[in-house]
Amino acid sequence: MKIKNNRRVNLEDVKVSDDIQGLEKIGKNSLLIETFPANSEITTYTYHIIAPEVSARTTFNITSYVKYQRAGFNISENKTIPIIVKLKDEETKAKDGSIDIDRTFVKTTASLREYMPATYEIYNNGSISLVHISLSFPIQYEFDTVERQSYFIPSLGEGEKIVLPDFVSYRPKLNGTLYLLPEEVTFMDADGNEYSTKTKNTTLTISKDFEFNTGAVLVNITSPKSTFTGTPTLFNITLQNIGSEPVSGKLDDGSRDWDTTVSAETKKLIQYYVTYDTAGTFDVTPASFSYVIDGKEHFTKSKARTIEVMEASIETDTTDITNRSEIENRSSRDEAKNTSQNNQTTTDKEDSVKKKGFFSKMIEYFVSFFR
């Protein structure tokens, strides 16, 4: 690529050096740009550009560290060269290759309680192979989702398509008209140029009064906020079928899975114990339930939560530490109180004995005197 000093450079036209790892063209940039200046004595310039963090489609000046060759010798020097760099657009398309991505729902009307699975189709509609295809999922503030952050595809050939059926399930938090934020797909061509595209905005209509004609299951897991090492801690999994038909499926608590059935409009409680050997804050493995209705697979799971595990004292077994500590403290206080009372009683008795001995001697003295 031939450019001159002070020329505006589009980042999508700039090749990132292969020896720079983990750097992107938008945000904090470090780019090596090969140029061929008019001075014939200098065969190549390499501008090592360290760009500040900026937003897309803005321009800024930079200073460069220049390396070049003269008469066959490698020479490097500090040199300030004003270059105006224009960041690439948020969405760009490759010259000969492009990605289409669609997000579809079976239906766009649901209730507050219903999970809505979305299917994704990723299609290479260009004439070249594309590599390093990454699908990123933003936080959806109006929906609860089964957590997914990204999905990676090594490559897609010309005309190839990948279908991800029911890949993400969305459960609305509000009723009314809700908007899903678009997911972004980034990909590269064979030359290492990076591009991106996004899904279209989707509108979903949520009704409070929507009724289920078939089964639909919600899953929840509860546990204490804190516990102690060596103490069996009770966990409760609740399966709630809010539909009018019984539902059979597979329940997974993170360590094992088994088949179970939940009757219509009922709750099912599963309890188990976990013993922690070390102290710290731990993630509670979510419970999940998968089931099939009318030939379509559904999936739901509990929300993420944590539990704080504190170090138990050495003499502690599997007793409730809090109650035991309180009992021990109370016993200590009672023992101290009893000891104080016993000491007072002993003192009173001793005083009484002393007083009794004094009066006895006085009586004996008067009796002997009158004799």
Report how far residue 273's alpha carbon sits from residue 251's, in angstroms, rounded to the nearest whole number. Answer: 16
| pLDDT, tens digit, 9 for 90 and up, residues 34-79 | 333 434 343 333 444 444 433 333 333 444 444 444 555 555 554 4
Q: What is the pLDDT of residue 54?
A: 37
Report how far residue 187's alpha carbon sits from residue 312's, in angstroms, rounded to the nearest whole number. Answer: 51
List Cβ neighbours of 188 (8 Å cut-off, separation of 6 or more).
130, 131, 132, 194, 195
9: how many CB neighbours lie within 10 A of its CB?
18
Collapsing DSSP states into helix, strand and coil, what is residue 313? coil
List Cβ neighbours of 338 (8 Å cut-off, separation of 6 or more).
none
Cα atoms in the 13 Å half-sphere on the side-chain side of 69: 8
Model confidence at 23: pLDDT above 70? no
The candidate with the shortest Cα–Cα distance to 301, out of 288, 290, 291, 284, is 288
pLDDT-derived band at 353 (thresholds 50, 70, 90) equals very low
pLDDT-derived band at 29 (thresholds 50, 70, 90) equals very low
Model confidence at 288: pLDDT above 60? yes
Domain range annotation of the chain: 9-86, 99-207, 217-310
Cα atoms in the 13 Å half-sphere on the side-chain side of 368: 6
Check: CB of residue 311 under 8 Å from CB of residue 229. Answer: yes
Q: What is the pLDDT of residue 360?
A: 52
DSSP calls for 246-294 = -EEEEEE-SS-EEEEEE-TTEEEEEEEEE--SS-EEEEEPPPEEEEEET
CATH says 217-310 is which class? Answer: mainly beta
Model confidence at 223: pLDDT above 50? yes
How do 130-136 and 150-156 pair as beta strands?
Answer: antiparallel
Report how far residue 188's alpha carbon sits from residue 195's, in angstroms, rounded to the nearest whole number. Answer: 6
217-310 matches 99-207 in CATH topology: yes
Q: What is the pLDDT of residue 113?
A: 64
Model confidence at 108: pLDDT above 50? yes
Q: What is the pLDDT of residue 314?
A: 57
Model confidence at 325: pLDDT above 70? no
Model confidence at 170: pLDDT above 50? yes
How high is the mean pLDDT of the chain?
65
And the tokens for 80? 């300030």
Q: What is the pLDDT of residue 5?
A: 34
At the fourth CATH level, the homologous superfamily of domain 99-207 is Immunoglobulins (2.60.40.10)
